[in-house]
Homo-oligomer: A and B are copies of this chain.
C-alpha cells in the first residue's frame, strides 16, 4: 500500500510511546508491562508496518483489557525451565511483555549455553514477531520467533478455517549492512488485505483466498466469508502445501509444544473481540558456535550486497534483502516523524478523551 502523505499526520517515537504507556497505565496495566507494549507497537510503526502498530491499541488491546478479556495484571508463571529451554504461561495477559521477557530469558540461556528454545502459552496478540527475533541481534545471536493467531486460513484441499496467519521471523546479524530480518505470515496475505480490497472495490489476486465452499475467489466480500489461502496459493501446483505446512508447523511449535490452544481450539475472527489464548515460540543460538563473529558478519555483508547489486528484472527499481525496507523506514521515521493514519489518529484522540488522558502525540 502506498502511503499518501495527506492521509497521515506525524507523531514522534517518544510521544507515541509515552501515549501508549499512559493509556495502558490508565486501564491498570503495570507500567513496566506498558512500556514494553509501547516499545513493540511503536517499533512496528517505525518499521512501516502500520497494521501492527498503534492502530491496534484500541481494538486489540485497550477494548479487551477494559472488557476484562485480557488480564491487565496477569499471573505470569514459568511452567518449566532448563538451561536451554523455558515455557511461560502468560496468564491471559498482554502478549508483548511475556514474549519479550521470555525471549530475554532465552537470550541469556543461549549466551551461556550456546542455544535455547522457549514458548509462551495462554497469551494474546504480541505485535510483530520480528521484534522478538531482533532482540537477539545485539548479542551476536541468531533469533527466531513465531506465534499462532486467531484463525483465518484453510489447509490445502480443505475449506474449513483451521489456521492463523502464523508468522515465522528470523533475525541474523550483519556487519556494516542492516541485519537480515525476515518476518513473514504463512498465509499469502493477511485478512486485513481483503478488507482493504473490498473497501477499494478491487479484485483479489489468485492465490489469496477461497469462498466458504472452498473455491478460489477474487471477490473480497466473498473471500471475507471464506478463508485465506496458505503461501503458495490453491492446491499444490504453486506450492500451497508448503505454506500450509509452515503454518501448521508454527501452530505446532507455538500451540502444541506449549500445551496451549491449537488448531480448531483457537478463536475465529467472527468471535470479536475475542482475545487469544494464543501461544508464541522462540529460539536463539550463538553465531560463534560456528565461526568467529567478525568473519561471519563480513560474509553476511558480502551476501546481502551481492543480492542487492545483482541484475534487476525489467521495471524493477531495486532488489531488496529481508528487513532492508523496514530498516530504512525506521531511519526515515526517526528523522521526519512517525506517520499515523488520520483514521487512527482520530481514534487515538477519542480514546484519550474516553480515558481522560492527555493527547499530545503530534511531533514538534
Contact = CB atoms under 8 A, between A and B. Distances in A.
Contacts of A300: 252, 256
Interface string A221-251: 0000000000111000111011101101101
Contacts of A245: 182, 184, 322
A319 B170 CA distance: 29
B189 A258 contact: no
Contact of A231 (B80, B214, B239, B287): B239
Interface string A298-316: 0110110011001111101
Contacts of A213: 313-314
Interface residues of A, number: 88
A306 B263 contact: yes
A310 B155 contact: yes
Contacts of A321: 248
A290 B188 contact: no
A285 B113 CA distance: 13
A210 B263 CA distance: 37
Interface stretch (A81-89, A267-275, A345-353): A81-89
A111 to B, nearest CB: 11
A75 interface: no
A289 interface: yes
A162 B207 CA distance: 25
- Chain B CB within 10 Å — which of A158, A189, A286, A290 has the most? A290
A50 B27 CA distance: 60
A156 interface: yes
A55 interface: no
A25 interface: no
A253 B291 CA distance: 12
Contact of A85 (B262, B289, B317): B289
A166 to B, nearest CB: 12
Given A159-B311, A249-B182, A307-B155, A290 B257 contact: yes
A264 interface: yes
Given A114-B82, A246-B182, A259 B162 contact: no
Contact of A249 (B84, B114, B180, B317): B180
A318 interface: yes
28 contacts: A83-B114, A84-B113, A87-B290, A115-B116, A115-B117, A115-B283, A142-B253, A155-B307, A155-B319, A156-B319, A157-B312, A158-B311, A158-B313, A159-B314, A180-B248, A180-B249, A184-B242, A185-B242, A188-B232, A188-B238, A205-B237, A206-B206, A215-B313, A231-B242, A248-B321, A252-B303, A257-B296, A283-B283
